[in-house]
Amino acid sequence: MKPLKNWDNRTWLSSKRYISQFHKFIKRKTKFNKNTRILDIGCGRANIISFLQRKYKFKKKAIGIDILKNKNTKKNILFKKSDALKYLKKGKKFDIIIIKQTIHFFSQTKIVSLLNLVKKNLNEKGTLLIFSLKTKNNKIPCFKIMKKQLNNSLKKDEKLFKIIRKNLRRIKETNFNFKVKISKRKYVSMIKNRYMSCLLSLSKKEIEKGIDEINLNFKNQLNFTDTLKCISFRK
């Protein structure tokens, strides 16, 4: 699968309101202080851990890893261009590990390896937070072929969730809900930039046809709830 470049580039996922609400949500799952060691797997531009670094002033900078480095990746964190499994094999210890909207890039075999490494890399009483799109009744606005691609991806996610539940004990499952208000013009721009992985394999012609469907079927203002399933595990 091609690298996903634009999921957090000028989308609601990079907005101050989103990051603030996301922080409030994870603060109910774990505790932060200046000594917290935090790792974000698949961090993108590192918007979330950059916010946490500014707020809590961690003594050891928050670390973000991704297979792709963007020009506008946040500078106040420590970024490592690396494969997740390769990085975790170094054995560094963390209090919090975040895996946000990334699990669908792992095969069933690799997700088991990932979970085993994460458990080894968590400090005692450390917390793992896994986030992925809600697999049922998802409200993301889609055109026909995009919806088909998304549903196929979500079916894969559900299989991965079953593996996660089997390999991690004492997990808690909750939902993070964010109410999105976005102009159709801006949402169309996000589709052109292929902001979701389900858009990566579509041809330019399929994207253009899909945009025509969006323009025909949706009002100028899009209002919907972006829901993420959260699996939290404490060592």
So where are the chain's domains?
A: 12-234
Residue 101 structure tokens? 């909207």
Cα–Cα distance for residue pair 144/223, rounded to 1 Å: 19
Residue with tokens 């670094």: 53
Q: If you classify domain 12-234 with CATH, what class do you get? A: alpha beta
DSSP label of 59 = S
Q: Which of 149, 115, 153 is nearest to 135 (CA)?
A: 153
C-beta atoms surrounding 10 within 10 Å:
14
H or E segment and range at residue 199: none
pLDDT given for residue 32 in this prediction: 96
pLDDT given for residue 104 in this prediction: 87
pLDDT given for residue 7 in this prediction: 57
User: Reduced to 3 states, what is the DSSP secondary structure of residue 129?
Assistant: strand
Averages of pLDDT over runs of 10 residues in the chain (235 residues) are 57 90 96 97 93 97 92 92 95 97 91 96 96 90 96 92 92 96 94 91 96 96 96 95
pLDDT given for residue 8 in this prediction: 61
Cα–Cα distance for residue pair 42/111, rounded to 1 Å: 14
- What is the CA 175 to chain-centroid distance, rounded? 13
Note the pTM of the prediction, 2 decimals. 0.93
